[in-house]
């Protein structure tokens, strides 16, 4: 068995315009002060991290590592969640998703998709230069508007969407393979890959590509009323990243898992700071240890109630207290008989 690394923090929710949240050194120093040992970097804000430069320059990558080391934290992974969302976007979302792309590409979906695809290839090269073994992203969604079918979906619609999804992602997966880095899809409502079944639908279409993997975040499974512990047992061989994020779902007589168009604070299902929700993290960490997950436990803070800086500080301690230093020997080794194969056969009456 292997011991998880952590605690680490995904910085996306904390980037801001005022110090210490407006540059890499400030963010890293603040995260270290909260008790984190690593940081996961978003790649869509050049003021914090320049993705193109990282893909092209060992010197820049050395500089990034040096800044983080100087603050006492390691770089765990890069994230292209926003760019991944644009690799496959249904036209219904063109206007709201335009904000994820550079201003010069807005209103031009084909150009936006081409840019997003290039961003993923850059992320593979940057991950290689930085020596990273995993990368976080979203799949995007072509079929998502047809999730709950009325009128019924035409035959072949979903299959066509996933065929296209595979066509777009296969070359990206190959780039990550060349980089020696696992591409980990965060399974998330609004993405075509939002549960185990949809992940398998893509995996089959990319011929079980070795770099097609999962970012495990149990909060999204709670909000879909899934068995988030059983999920680990089924998919542990593909789980290469872990977001520690809490959630709660309180059944309501007035709304269901879709939330009734309500803001987060008024939904039956909502994200919470670590320890404030319903997720059994003792069992989550136990199952990850049981299945030899040795990646980072990364806090993704999203909560509709608690202040983010408070949630980060509490979350670092929460993760640290849940990481299991795995044992190197069985608890009953003291009673071992030391029997060899002939003795075993005699014990079984086999001569």
What pLDDT does 44 receive?
Answer: 97
The CA distance from 170 to 192, in Å, is 15
The CA distance from 249 to 279, in Å, is 10
What pLDDT does 334 receive?
Answer: 66
* Beta pairing, strands 269-272 & 246-249: antiparallel
Residues near 273 by Cβ (< 8 Å), separated by ≥ 6? 246, 301, 303, 305, 306, 310, 311, 314, 315
**Would you state the structure tokens that stand for residue 264, as one six-digit string?**
């987060």
* Beta pairing, strands 5-10 & 38-42: parallel
Q: Which tens digit of pLDDT belongs to each residue from 16-32?
A: 999 999 999 999 999 99
Q: How many residues does the chain have?
A: 351
The CATH homologous superfamily for domain 5-347 is Divalent-metal-dependent TIM barrel enzymes (3.20.20.150)
Contact (CB, 8 A) for 257 and 223 = yes
Beta strands (DSSP E) in 201-295 are: 212-216, 239-244, 246-249, 269-272
The reported pTM is 0.95
Structural domain boundaries of the chain?
5-347
The CA distance from 167 to 272, in Å, is 36
Could you tell me which of 74, 80, 70, 59 has the C-alpha nearest to residue 123? 80
**pLDDT at residue 338 tops 80:** no
What pLDDT does 343 receive?
Answer: 85
Contact (CB, 8 A) for 247 and 281 = no
**Would you state the structure tokens that stand for residue 268, as one six-digit string?**
């039956």
**Would you state the structure tokens that stand for residue 84, as one six-digit string?**
């991944």
**pLDDT at residue 335 tops 70:** no
Annotate 73-106 with DSSP letters as a single string: -EEEEEEEHHHHHHHSB-GGGHHHHGGGS-GGGT
Could you tell me which of 210, 188, 216, 192 has the C-alpha nearest to residue 202? 192
Question: How confident is residue 178, by pLDDT bands cut at 50, 70 and 90?
Answer: very high
Angle between helices 228-235 and 281-290 (to 10 degrees): 10
The CA distance from 274 to 329, in Å, is 31
Q: Which tens digit of pLDDT belongs to each residue from 30-66?
A: 999 999 999 999 999 999 999 999 999 999 999 999 9
Q: Which tens digit of pLDDT belongs to each residue from 268-327?
A: 999 999 999 999 999 999 999 999 999 999 999 999 999 999 999 999 999 999 999 998
């Amino acid at each position: 068995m292997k011991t998880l690394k952590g605690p680490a923090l995904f910085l996306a929710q904390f980037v801001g315009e005022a110090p210490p949240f407006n540059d890499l050194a400030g963010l890293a120093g603040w995260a270290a002060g909260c008790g984190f040992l690593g940081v996961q970097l978003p790649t869509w804000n050049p003021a914090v991290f320049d993705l193109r430069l990282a893909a092209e320059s060992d010197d820049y990558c050395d500089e990034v590592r040096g800044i983080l080391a100087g603050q006492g934290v390691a770089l765990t992974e890069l994230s292209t969640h926003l760019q991944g969302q644009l690799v496959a976007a249904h036209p219904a979302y063109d206007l709201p998703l335009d904000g994820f792309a550079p201003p010069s590409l807005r209103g031009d979906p084909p150009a936006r998709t081409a840019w997003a695809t290039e961003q993923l290839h850059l992320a593979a090269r940057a991950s290689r230069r930085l020596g990273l073994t995993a990368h976080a992203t979203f799949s995007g969604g072509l079929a998502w508007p047809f999730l709950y079918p009325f009128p019924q979906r035409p035959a072949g619609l979903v299959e066509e969407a996933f065929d296209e999804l595979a066509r777009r992602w296969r070359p990206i997966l190959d780039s990550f393979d060349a980089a020696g880095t696992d591409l980990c899809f965060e399974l998330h409502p609004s993405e075509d890959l939002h549960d185990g079944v949809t992940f398998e639908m893509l995996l089959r279409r990319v011929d079980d590509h070795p770099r097609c993997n999962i970012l495990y975040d149990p909060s999204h499974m709670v909000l879909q009323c899934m068995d988030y512990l059983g999920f680990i047992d089924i998919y542990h061989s593909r789980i290469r990243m872990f977001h520690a994020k809490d959630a709660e779902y309180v059944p309501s007589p007035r709304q269901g898992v879709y939330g009734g168009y309500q803001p987060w604070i008024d939904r039956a299902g909502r994200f919470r700071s670590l320890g404030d929700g319903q997720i059994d993290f003792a069992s989550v960490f136990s199952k990850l240890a049981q299945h030899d997950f040795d990646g980072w436990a990364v806090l993704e803070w999203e909560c509709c109630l608690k202040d983010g800086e408070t949630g980060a500080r509490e979350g670092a301690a929460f993760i640290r207290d849940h990481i299991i230093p795995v044992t190197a020997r069985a608890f009953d080794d003291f009673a071992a008989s030391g029997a060899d194969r002939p003795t075993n056969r005699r014990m079984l009456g086999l001569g």
